[in-house]
A = this chain, B = another copy of it.
Amino acid sequence: MSHNVAILGASGYAGGELLRLLDDHPDFDVTYLGAHTNAGRELAEVHPHLSGGERLLGSADPGAMPPVDLAFLALPHGASAQVAGELLERGVRVIDLGSDYRLDNAKRYQFAYGEPHPFPDRLEEWPYGLPELFGGLLPGADRAAAPGCYPTATVLGLAPLLAARLIQPAGIVVNAVSGVSGAGRTAREDLQFGAVDENVGAYAIGRHRHRPEIEMALELASGIPRVSVTFTPHLVPMQRGILATSAASLTEPVGRGVLLDALRTAYKDSTFVDVIDGSPQTRWVVGSNRAMISAFVDESTGRAIVLTAIDNLIKGAAGQAIQIANLMLGMDESAGLPVAGWMP
């Protein structure tokens, strides 16, 4: 049985990936594409790499949308909160790729975004949809918040080690590097080729909005009331891919085999998580919905080093949103999702 779905925010990178993947999905039919400034244009003008280029982009206003079973929201920060409400009232299931409903309470939202949430009471109605850790909340749900790209990478690596009490919940240091597509598609001087190519820099140091999301997810997944993380994201000259490198103090001296065992046990039934012996490279997952994880022990400081590589636009955005949709609708979680990536 096929479900009609809409993509609102179809002209960005995440929107393009949603469409590319959904066009190949056996059980979804993309029947509406909504966009803001690109409304009225042909798909081929906005995403010349996709097929069916004669399709038209409509308005991102949910009122303009024909009835669908499910809508993926790939809208700018702050734009989902209102739209999601309207859609749910009309009986449309909603998966929000934005950050409006990812956090569990108003205080954390205020801390992360520096402003109060417009509908604080609704926060608790939205499951945080990281499938490998919170997938049990999804079957039958009519809404879910798709996790951010950095939290997906970081949390998948650390959660099983925290849950097994192998690492300490305080003092975790996370450094992440991301390809440039994570910053979106809008023209900005600091995202010009001339500014990005052959350059590395950190940004949002000490104040990135994904840090509270990482802490929340680790707390929820481990049952530990307070997990604290120092998080520093970096931009590197590549299109796609995130590598999260986390250092956490071991609770007691163990070899890396113990860490790898805990990770493998946690993900033994997960289609999309591979725990590997080597050091994960982003190229090995780019193009796929996979996460590759490994862990090492730095003996002289008693720390675990945990590394996770994902494709920020797939496992960190569009692919994971589809994985969530699959689970919400009772399908196989891997339906329509690539396990193999592309290389080179």
Chain B positions within 8 Å of A279 at CB level: 201-203, 205
A245 pairs with B340, CB closer than 8 A? no
Instruction: Report how far A20 CA is from B126 CA in the complex, Å.
Output: 37
Interface 1/0s, chain A 193-209, versus B by CB < 8 A?
11111111111011000
A34 at the interface (CB under 8 A from B): no
Chain B positions within 8 Å of A287 at CB level: 49, 287, 342
Interface 1/0s, chain A 265-301, versus B by CB < 8 A?
0000000000000011111111110000000111111
Shortest beta-carbon distance from A89 to chain B in Å: 34
A200 pairs with B229, CB closer than 8 A? no
Shortest beta-carbon distance from A316 to chain B in Å: 14
Q: Which of A162-221 contact B (CB under 8 A)?
A: 171, 173, 175, 177, 179-181, 185-189, 191-203, 205-206, 211
A49 pairs with B341, CB closer than 8 A? yes
Chain B positions within 8 Å of A179 at CB level: 198
Given A13-B194, A195-B344, CB of A237 within 8 Å of CB of B238: yes
Across the interface, name the chain B residue whose C-beta is closest to A23: B340
Partner of A188, one of B187, B197, B211: B187
Copies in the complex: 4
Shortest beta-carbon distance from A197 to chain B in Å: 6
Q: Which of A1-32 contact B (CB under 8 A)?
A: 13, 16, 20, 23-24
Chain B positions within 8 Å of A340 at CB level: 20, 23-24, 49-51
Given A49-B287, A171-B171, CB of A245 within 8 Å of CB of B202: yes
A82 at the interface (CB under 8 A from B): no
A315 at the interface (CB under 8 A from B): no
Instruction: Report how far A225 CA is from B340 CA in the complex, Å.
Output: 46
Across the interface, name the chain B residue whose C-beta is closest to A178: B200
Given A23-B340, A194-B180, CB of A241 within 8 Å of CB of B284: no
A243 at the interface (CB under 8 A from B): yes
A205 pairs with B344, CB closer than 8 A? no
B171 pairs with A49, CB closer than 8 A? no
Chain B positions within 8 Å of A301 at CB level: 171, 228-230
A79 at the interface (CB under 8 A from B): no
Chain B positions within 8 Å of A249 at CB level: 171
Chain B positions within 8 Å of A20 at CB level: 340, 342
List 27 A-B residue pairs with CB atoms under 8 Å apart, sorted by A's residue number. Answer: A23-B340, A24-B340, A48-B284, A49-B343, A51-B339, A51-B340, A177-B177, A177-B236, A180-B193, A180-B197, A181-B194, A187-B189, A191-B194, A192-B193, A197-B237, A198-B283, A200-B309, A201-B309, A202-B245, A205-B305, A206-B297, A206-B299, A211-B300, A232-B305, A236-B237, A236-B238, A287-B287
10 further A-B contacts with Cβ under 8 Å, apart from A192-B192, A229-B301, are A48-B281, A175-B245, A187-B187, A198-B198, A200-B282, A202-B305, A205-B296, A205-B298, A206-B298, A206-B299
Top-10 shortest CB links A-B = A206-B298, A201-B281, A175-B175, A193-B196, A199-B283, A51-B339, A49-B343, A194-B344, A49-B341, A173-B173
